[in-house]
């Protein structure tokens, strides 16, 4: 068995500039990134930027405890080493991976999928005098499919790396490898639509025509991939099928107009193959770009003057939970972990889907609701619901169960989706700056909303709980939030009001991450835990008590509903709302309502532990909040004057 030091020396002999890489699968922002070191200014940088060369012992330790990676282009950091590039499949269906044995043989990394080892990465050396560019393809529904990586690092060994082929990386033209990635992506896309035996001859005739007419693929590459395609589709007529590809090449050379193209194949298979656009030769792509600039095909924006506007019947905007949420709103609720965000939203949704007032918020229109819960298990989610429904049972309130929808990770696993939710937003990295990897996750949730509309006749009020569990983004990067926020606003325009749940920053108490996400919100609620001097004595173990702040109130600012308040729920599911007071205030209110109304008398009561002067300040604040009657105010002023021995103007 090859020793670890032998591996390091072998990799170096191949011309690799090596670095330890982090093994932190639970922290996507750091996982698989080079281990950073301090430079001369005390800043943490990659070793090639900091001027450090890793020792063999440090690299061996990385093999054993972390990951080992190679820089693609160390020369751009003025560091020594060969230039490499990495062909990667990130296809979650693993259909693209089936074609990796059609690629030139080289150093190959794989992973186990259902007990079968599947190739995922092929590492190549860049030949001298060749240039390489990053490439990637993102399926509109399924997300990222393939990438050619050439400007960062590739993890080649260490923890969780399965080396399938340990040979020295071979030299390859990156343009040819990109062709391989494109063809593999396209064949994987049409695989599920390929006809059964009896109709395949015609389909292969059209596929051969499309490849001849629109691509620059060599016949040898086409035959190699089509042969693999025949294996995957269990087609034994190998020679008959392959002959069509040579025949169509000759037909295209003789008379291009008589060769069918991709449109005929798409019509035959009943699909619209976006991946084929990547395969098209340059002039075909140019025609697509030129088509975008053809103004004759544009639909111009309308010209709307005041007369037109005032007579236009725009979609109405009506309250759902008045005044917090409208039927065309995009909202957020944030707060520290365990403060009560999910319980609050569960109670709100029950009120909305069943038509019951919640606290002093009225339900102006009932709607179905959908709670997408990415963190809690199904049992915990239901247990919390049952506490809320105790109040419904005790008071005989109807719960409209057929309008109360939810989805937890447990639901997905129990229905054949063991990996849980597809992320609704994914961090944009390198070429990912051009690619939206969260599209599939969002589309799947939107499909549920559409299905609810089909079943009930109404779109639901949607809760996304929570961003940390449902997304894989760098919260501090505004561009990572952009696709998600644009989507939630698109939903609002379609009549799907929504709210996302997010954690707060521990040091500031504000919603964690970039503030750009709040700019397009209608309502932003903040839930906080209570300080010891505000907490209530509530028996039982299933209660909640929290402070509710309104950080943004587009539709009700200044109405009084934007004031900070305290909320409690007991084990019977009863919610109560209080002003933002301390427990000493509540004692004063109780005694005041019992008839003890002056600061002097209150100070004498055994339940009160604060001084008379402080009690007076509490009474003044409670009157301003309209919590107690103002008619005793003058009397208290006189008492204060008598007690202090100095007259004071308090009005």
Task: Give pLDDT tens digits for 103-113.
Answer: 999 999 999 98
Confidence of residue 553 (pLDDT cuts 50, 70, 90): very high
Same domain for 506 and 370: yes
- Note the pTM of the prediction, 2 decimals: 0.56
Assess if residue 128 is contained within a domain.
yes
Asked if the structure places residue 11 within a domain, the reply is yes
User: Residue 433: its pLDDT value, please?
Assistant: 43
> What would the mean pLDDT of 21-35 be, rounded to a whole number?
87
Give me the pLDDT at residue 435, please: 58
Burial class (CB in 10 A: 0-12, 13-18, 19+), 89: buried
What is the domain-level CATH number for residue 510?
3.40.50.300
Q: Which one, of 79, 44, 299, lies nearest residue 34 by Cα?
A: 44
What's the chain's average pLDDT?
Answer: 88
Helix (H, G, I), strand (E, B) or coil at 41: coil
In the predicted structure, residue 54 carries a pLDDT above the cut 90: yes
pLDDT at 614: 86
Q: What is the pLDDT of residue 347?
A: 96
Give the tokens for residue 364.
């102006």
Lowest-pLDDT choice from 163-177, 432-446, 548-562, 586-600 = 432-446
Instruction: Give just the sign of the alpha carbon dihedral 244, 247, 249, 254.
Output: negative
- What does the pLDDT read at residue 651? 22
Reading the block at residue 59, the tokens are 């690299």
Q: What is the pLDDT of residue 510?
A: 84
Contact assessment for residue 487 and residue 442, using Cβ atoms and an 8 Å cutoff: yes
Contacts for 308-315: CB closer than 8 Å, 24+ residues apart: 315/495
Whether residue 170 is found in the same domain as residue 207: no
134 and 209 share one domain: no
Cis peptide before 249 (omega within 30 of 0): no
642 pLDDT band, cuts 50/70/90, is very low
| Maximum average pLDDT range among 250-259, 536-545, 616-625 | 250-259
Collapsing DSSP to helix, strand or coil, 525 comes out as: strand
Segments forming the whole domain that contains residue 31: 4-175
Instruction: Tell me if 355 is assigned to some domain.
Output: yes
- Per-residue pLDDT of 313-370, as tens digits, reads 988 899 999 999 999 999 999 999 889 999 999 999 999 999 999 999 999 999 999 9
512 & 605 share domain: no
Q: In the structure encoding, which two tokens stand for residue 304, read together?
A: 């709307």
Residue 606 has pLDDT above 90, yes or no: no
Q: Are residues 328 and 287 in the same domain?
A: no
Contacts of 122 (CB under 8 A, 6+ apart): 86, 87, 100, 103, 104, 106, 107, 108, 109, 177
- Give the phi and the psi of residue 136 in degrees, each rounded to 5: -160, 155
Looking at residue 13, what is its pLDDT? Answer: 97
Beta-carbon contacts of 566 under 8 Å, excluding residues fewer than 6 positions away, are 530, 534, 545, 546, 547, 548, 577, 578, 579, 580, 581
DSSP 421: P
CA distance 382 to 379: 5
Longest dimension (CA), the chain: 113
DSSP state of 277: H
The pLDDT > 90 percentage for the chain reads 59
Residue at which a domain ends, from 149, 175, 201: 175
Confidence at 617, pLDDT banded by 50, 70, 90: confident
pLDDT at position 126 over 90:
yes
Whole-number pLDDT of residue 31: 86
Looking at residue 49, its pLDDT comes to 86
Strands 330-335 vs 523-529: parallel, antiparallel or unpaired? parallel
Q: Answer yes or no: do 46 and 140 share one domain.
A: yes
pLDDT at 626: 74
> What is the predicted pLDDT for the residue at 293?
64
Task: Give the model's confidence band at 615: pLDDT under 50 very low, under 70 low, under 90 confident, else very high.
Answer: confident
In a domain, 574, yes or no: no
Instruction: Give the best-scoring range by mean pLDDT among 21-25, 71-75, 552-556.
Output: 71-75
pLDDT in tens, 129-178: 899 999 999 887 788 899 999 989 999 999 888 999 999 999 999 999 99
pLDDT of residue 68: 95
Residue 379 has pLDDT above 50, yes or no: yes
Tell me, yes or no, whether 229 lies in a domain: yes
Q: Are residues 73 and 203 in the same domain?
A: no
Separation CA 466–CA 455 (nearest Å): 26
The secondary structure of 135-201 as a DSSP string is EEEEETTTEEEEEEE-SSEEEEEETT-EEEE-SPPPB--HHHHHHHHHHHHHHHHHHTTPPPTTSHH
Please say if the pLDDT value at position 285 is more than 50: no
Dump pLDDT digits (tens) for 287-318: 555 555 667 777 888 899 999 999 999 888 99
Note whether 292 and 169 are same-domain residues: no
Q: Do the domain assignments include residue 552?
A: no
What residues does 498 pair with on adjacent strands? 330, 462
Count up the domains in the chain and report the number.
Answer: 4
**Where does a domain end: 233, 263, 296?**
296
Is residue 561 domain-resident? Answer: no
Domain identity same for 292 and 326: no
In the predicted structure, residue 581 carries a pLDDT above the cut 90: no
- Find the radius of gyration of the CA atoms of the chain: 33
139 inside domain: yes
Residue of 411, 349, 408 whose CA lies nearest to 376? 408
Q: What is the pLDDT of residue 637?
A: 44
User: Are 66 and 212 part of one and the same domain?
Assistant: no
Whether 209 has a pLDDT exceeding 90, the answer reads yes
Same domain, yes or no: 365 and 494: yes
- The reported pLDDT for the residue numbered 630 is 62
Residue 292 has what pLDDT? Answer: 58
- Judge whether residue 263 has pLDDT over 70: yes
Same domain, 87 and 17: yes
Distance, CA of 492 to CA of 462 (rounded, Å): 10
- pLDDT of residue 179 exceeding 90: yes
């Amino acid at each position: 068995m090859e020793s670890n030091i032998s591996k390091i020396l072998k990799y170096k002999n191949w011309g690799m500039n090596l670095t330890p890489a982090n093994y932190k699968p639970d922290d996507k922002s750091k996982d698989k990134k080079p281990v950073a070191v301090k430079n001369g200014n005390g800043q943490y940088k990659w070793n090639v930027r900091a001027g450090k060369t890793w020792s063999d012992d440090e690299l061996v330790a990385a093999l054993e405890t972390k990951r080992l990676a190679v820089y693609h282009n160390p020369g751009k950091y003025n560091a020594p080493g060969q230039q490499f590039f990495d062909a990667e499949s990130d296809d979650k269906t693993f259909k693209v991976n089936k074609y990796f044995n059609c690629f030139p043989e080289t150093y190959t990394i794989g992973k186990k999928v259902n007990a079968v080892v599947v190739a995922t990465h092929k590492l190549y050396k860049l030949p001298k005098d060749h240039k390489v560019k990053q490439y990637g393809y993102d399926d509109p529904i399924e997300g990222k499919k393939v990438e050619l990586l050439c400007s960062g690092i590739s993890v080649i060994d260490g923890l969780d790396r399965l080396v399938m082929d340990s040979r020295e990386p071979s030299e390859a033209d990156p343009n040819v490898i990109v062709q391989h990635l494109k063809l593999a992506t396209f064949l994987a896309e049409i695989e599920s639509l390929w006809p059964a035996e009896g109709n395949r001859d015609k389909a292969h005739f059209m596929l051969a025509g499309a490849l001849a007419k629109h691509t620059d693929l060599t016949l040898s590459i086409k035959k190699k991939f089509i042969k693999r395609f025949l294996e995957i589709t269990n087609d034994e007529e190998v020679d008959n099928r392959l002959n069509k590809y040579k025949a169509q090449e000759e037909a295209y050379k003789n008379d291009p107009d008589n060769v069918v193209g991709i449109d005929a194949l798409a019509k035959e298979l009943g699909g619209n193959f976006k991946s084929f656009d990547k395969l098209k030769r340059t002039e075909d792509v140019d025609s697509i770009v030129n088509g975008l600039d053809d103004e004759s095909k544009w639909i111009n924006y309308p010209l709307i003057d005041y007369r037109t506007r005032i007579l236009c019947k725009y979609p109405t905007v009506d309250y759902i939970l008045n005044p917090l949420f409208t039927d065309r709103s995009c909202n957020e609720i944030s707060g520290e972990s365990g403060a009560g965000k999910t319980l609050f939203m569960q109670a709100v949704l029950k009120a909305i889907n069943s038509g019951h007032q919640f606290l002093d918020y009225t339900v102006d229109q009932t709607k179905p609701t959908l709670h997408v819960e990415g963190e809690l298990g199904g049992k915990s989610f239901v247990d919390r619901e049952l506490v809320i429904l105790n109040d419904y049972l005790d008071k005989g309130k109807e719960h409209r169960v057929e309008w109360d929808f939810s989805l937890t990770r447990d639901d997905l696993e129990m229905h054949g989706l063991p990996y849980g939710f597809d992320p609704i937003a994914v961090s944009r990295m390198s070429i990912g700056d051009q690619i939206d990897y969260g599209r599939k996750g969002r589309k799947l949730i939107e499909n549920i909303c559409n299905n609810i509309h089909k079943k009930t006749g109404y779109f639901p009020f949607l809760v996304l709980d929570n961003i940390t569990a449902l997304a894989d983004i760098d919260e501090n990067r505004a561009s990572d939030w952009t696709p998600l926020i644009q989507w939630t606003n698109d939903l609002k325009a379609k009549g799907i009001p929504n709210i996302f749940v997010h954690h707060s920053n521990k040091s500031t108490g504000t919603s964690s991450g970039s503030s750009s996400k709040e700019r397009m919100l209608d309502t932003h609620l903040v839930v906080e835990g209570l300080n010891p001097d505000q907490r209530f004595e509530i028996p039982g173990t299933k209660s909640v008590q929290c402070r509710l702040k309104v950080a943004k109130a587009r539709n009700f600012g200044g109405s009084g509903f934007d004031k900070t308040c305290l909320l409690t729920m007991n084990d019977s599911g009863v919610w109560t709302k209080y002003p933002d007071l301390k427990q000493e205030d509540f004692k004063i209110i109780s005694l005041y309502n019992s008839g003890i109304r002056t600061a002097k008398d209150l100070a004498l009561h055994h339940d009160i532990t604060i001084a008379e002067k402080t009690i007076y300040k509490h009474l003044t604040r409670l009157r301003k909040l309209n919590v107690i009657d103002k008619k005793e105010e003058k009397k208290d002023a006189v008492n204060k004057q008598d007690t202090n021995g100095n007259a004071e103007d308090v009005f």
